[in-house]
Amino acid sequence: MKTRHLLFAAFFVAATVAVTAQTTTLPNVTLKTVDGRSVQTTEITNDGKPIILSFWATWCKPCNRELNAISERYDEWREITGVKLVAVSIDDAKSVHKVKPHVDGSGWDFEVYIDANQELKRAMNVVNIPHTFLLDGNGQVLWQHTGYLDGDEEQLYGKIKELIGEK
């Protein structure tokens, strides 16, 4: 019991020290592409432009609503801001082989990766999906949002424009 307390205390002390000068970057984890290739998250880049990273699953209704909403405006967003959308599926063995059919069937044009044992999900502290991150050109997390209510994509777009404007 004593060890546990010590462990916990040590963690919090270190946490507070670290939090003071914090920048959160994308953790390095192996994902699969929908074509079955392995990719390291460090390979996900967008030539110094912002990236939207969105966690979803084929069975998650609000996730699909969010991705469809972004998909409808994706061409316009890309043209104006250069932003790239990366959707990370947390479908497990039960539905992982439906991810590509789902993406094609939905007519989505953005990059989709698979995090079948939810390693990136855990590393990024995602509790519920959808959970969307906005990364700047260097892969730093600038903003994150959980859940999806209709119209939330406008808030996200506002944050992207803010980020572009600052440059």
Which residues lie near another protein (CB under 8 A)?
3-4, 6-8, 10-11, 14-15, 17-25, 27-28, 30, 35-38, 40, 59-61, 92-98, 100-107, 116-119, 122-128, 131, 143-147, 149-152, 154-155
Using alpha carbons, select from 24, 64, 21, 28 the residue that is nearest to residue 45: 28
Q: Closest CB to another protein among 6 and 80?
A: 6
Q: 134 with 159: CB under 8 angstroms? A: yes
Quote the CA–CA distance of 153 and 150 in Å, as a whole number. 8
In this structure, what token pair is assigned to residue 157? 């777009």
Q: Which is nearer to another protein, 77 or 82 (CB)?
A: 77
CB of 32 to another protein, least distance (A): 9
Please report how close the Cβ of residue 20 comes to another protein at its closest, in angstroms: 7
State in angstroms the smallest separation of the CB of 14 from another protein. Answer: 6
Tokens of 77: 């967003």
Beta bridge partners of 88: 55, 113
Token output for 109: 């044009």
Amino acid at 152: D
Tokens encoding 58: 């084929």
| Of residues 68 and 82, the one with the C-beta less far from another protein | 68
- Closest approach, Cβ 127 to another protein, in A, equals 5
Residue among 82 and 157 whose Cβ is closer to another protein: 157
